[in-house]
Amino acid sequence: MLEEFKKFALRGNVVDLAVGVIIGAAFGAIVTSAVQDVFMPMIGAVTGGLDFSNYYIPLSSKVQTGLAYAEAKKQGAVLGYGQFITVALNFMIVAFVLFLVIRAMNKLQTREEKKPEAVAEVPADVRILGEIRDLLAVRPRV
């Protein structure tokens, strides 16, 4: 049973999947930082200093208006649509980057398919017979 598990765990697909998950998590952290620290402040600057992450609608009378989103959540139920906008933008960036990566991979794959295949080497006896045929074709007829 241990040998069977070892075979399963070290199978190429399982290792590739594990590497993909780890890289995906790291990539997700990069994209989250890009959205929160780069794109959303730029969008906020364009829209007059608005900070989307603090946009919410209080759903409870206990929530005071004008608080930061994190503080409002502590007081009661809130509908954080600003957070949703941030996450949706995050998703669109990830989807677009994946689209570009897959598009590039497809282009590379089609280039590899267009490469001519190596011509198989002709056996010596067949090559000599071809040369004799060509010489006979050039020889004048009597």
DSSP output for 37-95? IIIHHHHHHHTTS--GGG--EE-STTSPTT--HHHHHHHS-EE-HHHHHHHHHHHHHHH
Sequential pLDDT tens for the chain (142 residues)? 888 887 777 776 777 788 888 988 888 888 778 877 887 788 778 877 766 778 888 988 888 888 888 888 999 899 988 888 878 887 888 788 778 888 988 888 887 777 666 667 888 998 999 998 988 888 777 6
pTM of the model: 0.52
> Which structure tokens are listed for 93?
């960036």
> Which structure tokens are listed for 79?
């509908």
Cα separation, 30 vs 89, in Å, equals: 14
Domains of the chain: residue spans and CATH: 2-115 (1.10.1200.120)
Contact between residue 72 and residue 54 where contact means Cβ atoms under 8 Å apart:
no
> Which structure tokens are listed for 88?
């949706």
